[in-house]
């Protein structure tokens, strides 16, 4: 083939060709040539060039016209190149317009540069770019992707991918490459200078990373194996996670849920590159309440809404929230979008099924002509000030003009020293600093409290002097639910309380897990057996004992005793215990569980459904060796058992267990009674 035939055309023509093939993949060569205003010979040369470059693929089809027997369609790499060229094309046209404006008027046009074009030029109700290919191209790409190396997305990655593809993370075109990632971590900006505060990265395992290289396409699949997108890998890099934690979350402290995720859940290698969207993730729940950015924008256009204030929430709506949103909409003279997060939130939060039922129960308290609700499938990071800016950019993409930033917005709670990670109004300060660039007006509100004498809510800083403030904290609300106590109507709506009580009955009716941890021979299994008998004697709930040795035999017989395999074994125990807890039973676990991070992961898994009581059986190593009923310590000392906890492998003792017991000099019945008393004090069993 002549050299000229394999040379790609100049960018404008290449852009027009890729755009035309994506718009009309089944068109004949004659129709494509006419659309591009070039000869058939020139088109054939171009098609050979883009096919050789891997931007376009061809397939046979039946046709009487010999020039229509081949169909052309973009590959994933071609779709990514088209997206890149779109930005370049628009930037050139913008520069040409600016120059012409200056020539004719003597002044610049004043239009913003490319890096702020998508945030500032764009009408907030006009459609925004998505990363999906056409339906025809998607079907072909799905068949092609079946032969690619695949990565099964984690729940957080699935949330991120959905918002990348539907434009919620506009202007991102994919997972961040190394330059963009480092710039976002250090400066809250992409490498081109555009404001973006949160690293959106695809973390993978070392094993998977070793199988792929930049320049390669991989298929991204959901948990059920459905292909959602293709990633054209441009970067493969190892992040500095400690630096990421410090800059993004303010501290490298695993008490922060996102920092814990970063160090103990996320993979060690990041892949970056452009995304070619094939289909959105399937949601079977609340489908009528889920809207893409463009669907919301179309809804606002249809209703004639021009000002929309968004309310971000991950909690049930109580009366204080209603008052806050009413005031916000009135202050901004805007319509109201209740936009709760239903992706990943903070461990321990009320599940999104319960929350959405609560939202729907009180939606009729709002005027239907000026209020709507839509669900946002976002994986929150609880990053406080940075997260507030991020939430603003996301709501801007959804067509909003105003955004409520409240007290301690997206705060994760307290750090390892018992101090709040962020100040109560840090998020408002950072948001205000970037408000113009975000393109969204902040509506800031302080903590709302109920004033008894006025029988209504006020911002805390506007309460008349001498009046009585009534307030119920989140902790107090959970206590009242747990103990079946009254929740006054001034605090919440009866419909919301009813839904919460359905999901959170009194603790004495909930399932829970007692998780014993300690060295081999410490007495865990013995106490656990005694506990099981005592709880079964009381009756009322089914009791299941998940002893370490028994689980090894029935669930984990194929596993060894490496750190990786021990972690897998404990997570399996945690999963089974979480299912027992979710269904109202009592799970008693008695593994060694030597690692803090794994125990925390199990706690988070179980606390989504009920109480988790960690009991550290703190019998000393010397006493455990003295007992050594199985002779394991002797074999470990002789080097015949490798990686034995307490001898050749560490035991990370809990620092915040609900209960610590030492069996040395104590009989089993006494130790079991201490656990029962703890359960009774927590309201988990009847006194």
> For 555-602, what is each residue's pLDDT tens digit?
888 887 788 888 899 999 999 999 999 999 999 999 999 999 899 999
513 lies in the same domain as 610 = yes
Q: Which residue bears the tokens 């339906």?
A: 135
Catalytic residue among 6, 51, 86, 315: 315
DSSP alpha helices (H): ranges in 272-418? 293-303, 319-332, 352-362, 385-397
270 lies in the same domain as 299 = no
Q: Is the pLDDT of residue 652 over 70?
A: yes
576 lies in the same domain as 441 = no
Catalytic residue among 32, 75, 170, 313: 313
301 lies in the same domain as 328 = yes
Domain count for the chain, please give it: 4
Give the whole-angstrom CA distance, residue 325 versus residue 313.
11
Give the whole-angstrom CA distance, residue 320 versus residue 449.
7
**Domain ends where: 220, 249, 277?**
277
Model confidence at 40, in pLDDT bands (50, 70, 90)?
A: confident
Query: How many Cβ atoms sit within 10 Å of the Cβ of residue 375?
Result: 23
Asked if the structure places residue 71 within a domain, the reply is yes
44 as an active site residue: the answer is no
Asked if the structure places residue 491 within a domain, the reply is no
Q: Is the pLDDT of residue 687 over 70?
A: no
In the predicted model, what is the mean pLDDT of the chain? 88
pLDDT tens per residue across span 203-249: 999 999 999 999 999 999 998 899 999 999 999 999 999 999 999 99
CB 153 within 8 A of CB 219: no
Residue that wins the pLDDT comparison between 105 and 188: 188
Domain of residue 307, CATH code: 3.40.50.620
What integer pLDDT is reported at residue 67 of this predicted model?
A: 52
Query: What tokens were used for 569?
Result: 């074994």
Model confidence at 5, in pLDDT bands (50, 70, 90)?
A: very low
Model confidence at 4, in pLDDT bands (50, 70, 90)?
A: very low
Asked if the structure places residue 149 within a domain, the reply is yes
Give the whole-angstrom CA distance, residue 522 versus residue 519.
5
Domain of residue 603, CATH code: 3.40.50.300
Asked if the structure places residue 543 within a domain, the reply is yes
Give the whole-angstrom CA distance, residue 255 versus residue 597.
11
CB 430 within 8 A of CB 385: yes
247 lies in the same domain as 326 = no
What integer pLDDT is reported at residue 2 of this predicted model?
A: 40
Give the whole-angstrom CA distance, residue 556 versus residue 578.
17
296 lies in the same domain as 271 = no
Query: How far does Cα 613 stand from its chain's mean position?
Result: 27
Instruction: Report DSSP state, residue 462.
Output: G
Nearest CA to 201 among 248, 161, 148? 161
315 as an active site residue: the answer is yes
User: Average pLDDT of 499-516?
Assistant: 88
155 lies in the same domain as 74 = no
Helix (H) or strand (E) holding 371: strand 371-373
258 lies in the same domain as 319 = no
Q: Which residue bears the tokens 């809990």?
A: 654
213 lies in the same domain as 258 = yes
Instruction: Report DSSP state, residue 234.
Output: E
Asked if the structure places residue 129 within a domain, the reply is no
Q: Could you please report the per-residue DSSP string of 563-604? A: HHHHHHHHHHHHHHHHHHHHTT-EEEEE-----HHHHHHHHH
**Domain ends where: 459, 474, 497?**
459
Helix (H) or strand (E) holding 403: strand 402-405
Give the whole-angstrom CA distance, residue 92 versus residue 89.
5
Helix (H) or strand (E) holding 448: strand 448-451
Give the whole-angstrom CA distance, residue 446 versus residue 469.
15
Q: Is the pLDDT of residue 6 over 70?
A: no
Asked if the structure places residue 469 within a domain, the reply is no
Quick check: helix, strand or coil at residue 195?
A: strand
Phi and psi torsions of 467, nearest 5°: -75, 155
What integer pLDDT is reported at residue 331 of this predicted model?
A: 86
596 as an active site residue: the answer is no
Asked if the structure places residue 242 within a domain, the reply is yes
Asked if the structure places residue 501 within a domain, the reply is no
Give the whole-angstrom CA distance, residue 40 versus residue 267.
50
Q: Is the pLDDT of residue 121 over 50?
A: no
158 lies in the same domain as 106 = no
Query: What tokens were used for 365?
Result: 């308290």
Query: How many Cβ atoms sit within 10 Å of the Cβ of residue 104?
Result: 8
Domain of residue 202, CATH code: 3.10.400.10
Distant-in-sequence, close-in-space partners of 418: CB < 8 Å, separation ≥ 6: none
Model confidence at 200, in pLDDT bands (50, 70, 90)?
A: very high
DSSP alpha helices (H): ranges in 484-519? 494-503
**Domain ends where: 277, 299, 320?**
277
Among 3-17, 192-206, 251-265, 366-380, which stretch is predicted with the lowest mean pLDDT? Answer: 3-17
What are the DSSP E strand ranges found in 148-268?
150-152, 174-175, 202-204, 217-221, 227-237
- Binding site feature residues for ATP: 518-525
Angle (CA) 300 301 304, round 5°: 85
591 lies in the same domain as 534 = yes
Instruction: Report DSSP state, residue 65.
Output: S
Residue range(s) defining the domain that contains residue 10: 1-119
What integer pLDDT is reported at residue 61 of this predicted model?
A: 62
Give the whole-angstrom CA distance, residue 519 versus residue 620.
8
Model confidence at 113, in pLDDT bands (50, 70, 90)?
A: low
415 lies in the same domain as 556 = no
Query: How many Cβ atoms sit within 10 Å of the Cβ of residue 126?
Result: 11
Bridge partner list, 441: 402
Query: How many Cβ atoms sit within 10 Å of the Cβ of residue 211?
Result: 12
């Amino acid at each position: 083939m002549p050299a000229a035939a394999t040379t790609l055309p100049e960018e404008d023509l290449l852009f027009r060709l890729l755009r035309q093939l994506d718009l009309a993949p089944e068109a004949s060569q004659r129709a494509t040539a006419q659309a591009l205003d070039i000869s058939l010979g020139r088109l054939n040369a171009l098609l050979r060039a883009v096919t050789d470059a891997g931007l376009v693929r061809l397939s046979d089809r039946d046709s009487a016209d010999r020039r229509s027997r081949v169909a052309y369609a973009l590959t994933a790499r071609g779709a990514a190149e088209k997206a890149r060229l779109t930005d370049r094309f628009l930037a050139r046209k913008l520069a040409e317009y600016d120059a012409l404006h200056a020539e004719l008027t003597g002044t610049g046009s004043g239009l913003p540069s490319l890096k702020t074009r998508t945030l500032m030029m764009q009408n907030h109700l006009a459609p925004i770019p998505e990363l999906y290919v056409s339906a025809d191209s998607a079907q072909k790409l799905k068949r092609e992707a079946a032969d690619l190396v695949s990565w099964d997305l984690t729940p957080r990655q699935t949330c991120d991918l959905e918002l990348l593809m539907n434009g919620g993370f506009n202007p991102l075109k994919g997972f961040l490459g190394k330059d963009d990632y480092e710039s976002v971590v250090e400066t809250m900006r992409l490498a081109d200078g555009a404001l973006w505060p949160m690293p959106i990265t695809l973390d993978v395992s070392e094993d998977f990373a070793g199988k792929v290289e930049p320049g390669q396409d991989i298929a991204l699949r959901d948990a059920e194996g459905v292909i959602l997108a293709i990633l054209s890998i441009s970067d493969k890099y190892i992040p500095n996670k400690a630096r990421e934690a410090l800059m993004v979350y303010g501290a490298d402290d695993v008490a922060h849920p996102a920092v814990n995720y970063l160090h103990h859940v996320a993979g060690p290698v990041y892949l970056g590159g452009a995304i070619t969207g094939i289909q959105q993730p399937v949601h079977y729940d609340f489908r009528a309440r889920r809207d893409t950015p463009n669907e919301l924008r179309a809804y606002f256009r249809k209703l004639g809404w021009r000002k929309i204030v968004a309310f971000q929430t991950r909690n049930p709506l109580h009366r204080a929230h209603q008052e806050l949103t009413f005031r916000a909409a009135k202050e901004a003279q805007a319509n109201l979008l209740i936009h709760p997060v239903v992706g990943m939130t903070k461990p321990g939060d009320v599940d999104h099924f319960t929350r959405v039922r609560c939202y729907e129960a009180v939606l009729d308290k709002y005027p239907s002509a000026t209020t709507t609700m839509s669900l946002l499938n976002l994986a929150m990071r609880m990053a406080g000030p940075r997260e507030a800016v991020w939430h603003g950019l996301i709501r801007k993409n959804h067509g909003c003009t105003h955004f409520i930033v409240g007290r301690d917005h997206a705060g994760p709670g307290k750090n390892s020293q018992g101090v709040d990670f962020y100040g109560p109004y840090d998020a408002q300060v950072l948001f205000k600093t970037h408000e113009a660039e975000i393109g969204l007006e902040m509506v800031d509100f302080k903590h709302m409290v109920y004033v008894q004498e006025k029988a209504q809510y006020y911002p805390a800083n506007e309460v008349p002097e001498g009046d009585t403030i009534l307030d119920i904290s989140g902790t107090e609300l959970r206590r009242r639910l747990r103990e079946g106590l009254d929740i006054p109507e001034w605090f919440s709506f009866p419909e919301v309380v009813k839904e919460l009580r359905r999901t959170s009955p009194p603790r004495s009716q909930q399932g829970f897990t007692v998780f014993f941890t300690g060295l081999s021979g410490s007495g865990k299994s013995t106490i656990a057996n005694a506990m099981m008998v005592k709880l079964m004697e009381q009756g009322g709930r089914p009791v299941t004992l998940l002893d370490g040795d028994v689980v090894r035999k029935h669930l984990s017989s194929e596993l060894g005793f490496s750190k990786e395999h021990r972690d897998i074994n404990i997570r399996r125990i945690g999963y089974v215990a979480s299912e027992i807890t979710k269904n109202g039973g009592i799970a008693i676990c008695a593994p060694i569980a030597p690692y803090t991070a794994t125990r925390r992961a199990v706690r988070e898994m179980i606390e989504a459904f009920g109480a988790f009581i960690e009991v550290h059986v703190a019998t000393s190593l010397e006493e455990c060796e003295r007992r050594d009923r199985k002779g394991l310590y002797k074999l470990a000392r002789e080097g015949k058992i490798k990686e034995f906890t307490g001898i050749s492998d560490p035991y990370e003792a809990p620092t915040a267990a609900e209960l610590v017991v030492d069996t040395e000099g104590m009989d089993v019945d006494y130790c079991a009674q201490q656990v029962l008393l703890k359960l009774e004090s927590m309201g988990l069993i009847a006194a």
